[in-house]
Amino acid sequence: MWRRLEALKVKRTRKTRIHIRVLREKCTGCGRCVQVCPSGSWRMRGGVAEWRGMGLCLECGACYHVCPEEAILWRYPEGGEGVAYRF
């Protein structure tokens, strides 16, 4: 039900560049990004974190801020791309 409600409030615009990248060699598999992500955009695979892509991401940056190894490269989307919230 949450995803259905969220779909009504979130509009995704075209993205030209991916805004998250995982440095697999730095990831220790702590799973903090998986735990903190409000949209379920992360999963553990092979002992390291894997971002599932832009389709779910809310671009909040929580994953970037909780990573103790700085294994997540995150940037703000460029103007005109990303998520637009309607409340």
| pLDDT tens by residue, the chain, 87 residues | 445 545 556 565 665 567 889 999 999 999 999 999 999 999 999 999 999 887 788 888 999 999 999 999 988 776 666 666 665
**pLDDT (0 to 100) of residue 2:** 47
Q: Give the side-chain half-sphere CA count within 13 A for 30.
A: 14
Q: Which two tokens stand for residue 40?
A: 């379920």
Cα of 34 vs its chain's centroid, Å:
9
What CATH number corresponds to the domain at position 20? Answer: 3.30.70.20
Q: Which two tokens stand for residue 72?
A: 């997540």
CA angle 10, 14, 17 (to 5 degrees): 115
Question: How many domains does one find in the chain?
Answer: 1
User: Domain of 53?
Assistant: 2-85
pTM reported for the whole predicted model: 0.71
Q: Give the burial class of 27: count Cβ atoms within 10 A of its Cβ; 0-12 exposed, 13-18 middle, 19 or more buried.
A: buried
CA distances from 25 to 42, 44, 49 (A): 17, 14, 11
